[in-house]
Amino acid sequence: MTIPATMKAAVMTEPRRIATEDRPIPGLGEHEALVKVMAVGVCGSDVHYFEHGRIGGAIVRYPMILGHECAGEVVAAGKGVTRLKPGDRVAIEPQTTCGRCPACKSGKYNLCPEVAFFATPPIDGSFAQYVKMREDFLFPIPDSLSYEEAALIEPFSVGIHAANRTGLKPGDSVAIMGMGPVGLLAVVAARAYGASRIYVTDLEPVRLEAAKKLGATHAINVREQDAVETIKALSGGSGVDVAWETAGNSKALQSALLSLKRGGKLAIVGLPVQAEIPLDIHFISDHEVDIYGVFRYAGTYKAGIEILASGIADVSSLITDRYPLGRTQEAMERAMNNKSESLKVIVYPNE
């Protein structure tokens, strides 16, 4: 395969401004592979960096390339690469870690202090025709899985990690607050882990309908119904075993907590704008609630690929908008401004 000397990349040059530029093809280290990027999903964090230039203490240093939900084809490999070869189709876990610290050695490498994560300042992301990645963070995908579906393994991994953190088991009931792409894919994770009842909440009818198609058993529009009252009523007054807040909304987090039964488990997945949110401490203590923070994921990609390749749900139905690399500016604006209609926006760097 002929590899050019330069590539096109969609580069954020200032807030809300992305331009297509020529960049050098990344050089490879001994254990790295070069991947031709075929599909990249637009994530909520990409939109936040695009709109505000920062997320908490992570501040964009311009110019910067966004995008981290990605998949593609291996086109070259360093001399130390043994698991992959040119032509392999892969999902890209968009991070590298040191492998030496206590977090890495305990399997919690998402907490590695040296983690380099795509599209998290100052690391460039994957809105580009090619990226390089260490081979241990590249995962072969079957022919039955499209590049778009493989790109969704990244947000899907967040739901898998939430399920692992909260110990979700067959027969459990779960409430998922917020049906953005992470929340929608969390519905699939809950199904895969055997949840018997999946209650979901959101403001947008299109997202609630999508959740039902993916396997939610009850969809609650919080414009029309009180989430806690409805979940309590539907569960016979007891509440749910597990609740995941995926919206990054303070009210949704409070509702997730109060929807739990005694001894329930709460996962905080979404990040709200404010760092401090009032929670009912008496409820937490009296109900002996376990609360789990969820930071990205670790060790989820193989399972994620197997689950989506099984056909458990038609996740391709989440893809509502498609753009070539040269229209990444439009893709970002679409994801930012069209939440009532768009679910997942995909950019195709090599089309």
Note the pLDDT of residue 10: 98
Cα(7)–Cα(283) distance, integer angstroms: 55
Mean pLDDT over 62-91 rounds to 98
CB–CB of 38/150 below 8 Å? no
Residue 257's pLDDT band (boundaries 50, 70, 90)? very high
- The distance from CA 285 to its chain's CA centroid, rounded to whole angstroms, is 31
| Tokens linked to 191 | 């199904």
> For residue 247, with 0-12 CB atoms within 10 Å meaning exposed, 13-18 middle and 19 or more buried, which class applies?
buried
CB–CB of 99/109 below 8 Å? yes
pLDDT above 80 (res 1): no
Cα(282)–Cα(299) distance, integer angstroms: 35
Model confidence pLDDT, tens digit, residues 104-144: 999 999 999 999 999 999 999 999 999 999 999 999 999 99
pTM for the whole thing?
0.97
- The distance from CA 123 to its chain's CA centroid, rounded to whole angstroms, is 17
| Tokens linked to 151 | 């790109």
Model confidence pLDDT, tens digit, residues 299-312: 999 999 999 999 99
User: Which runs of consecutive H residues, i.e. helices, occur in 112-172?
Assistant: 147-151, 153-166
> For residue 176, with 0-12 CB atoms within 10 Å meaning exposed, 13-18 middle and 19 or more buried, which class applies?
buried
**In this predicted structure, which of 261-265, 321-325, 339-343 has the lowest mean pLDDT?**
339-343
Residue 2's pLDDT band (boundaries 50, 70, 90)? confident
Q: Rounded to 5, what percent of the chain is helix, strand, coil?
A: 30, 30, 40
3-state secondary structure string, 96-129?
ECCCCCHHHHCCCHHHCCCCEECCCCCCCCCCEC
Cα(327)–Cα(324) distance, integer angstroms: 6
| Domain ranges (residues) in the chain | 6-151+314-348, 158-293
| Tokens linked to 275 | 């760092």
Q: Rounded to 5 degrees, what angle do the CA atoms 53, 178, 277 make?
A: 65
> For residue 327, with 0-12 CB atoms within 10 Å meaning exposed, 13-18 middle and 19 or more buried, which class applies?
middle
| Tokens linked to 54 | 């920062």
Note the pLDDT of residue 334: 98
Cα(24)–Cα(6) distance, integer angstroms: 4
Mean pLDDT over 158-164 rounds to 98
Residue in the block written with tokens 């189709």: 89
Residue 275's pLDDT band (boundaries 50, 70, 90)? confident
Shortest CA distance to 28 belongs to which of 140, 137, 131? 131
Cα(114)–Cα(116) distance, integer angstroms: 6
Tell me the C-alpha to C-alpha distance, in Å, between residue 218 and each of 215, 231, 341: 9, 9, 21
Residue in the block written with tokens 């995941």: 244
Cα(299)–Cα(314) distance, integer angstroms: 23
Model confidence pLDDT, tens digit, residues 51-62: 999 998 899 999
Note the pLDDT of residue 19: 98
Q: What is the CATH number of domain 6-151+314-348?
A: 3.90.180.10
Mean pLDDT of the chain: 97
CATH homologous superfamily, domain 158-293? NAD(P)-binding Rossmann-like Domain (3.40.50.720)
Q: Could you say which DSSP state residue 303 is in?
A: H
Q: Which amino acid is at 235?
A: S
Cα(10)–Cα(332) distance, integer angstroms: 11
pLDDT above 80 (res 156): yes
The interaxial angle of helices 153-166 and 301-309, nearest 10 deg, is 110
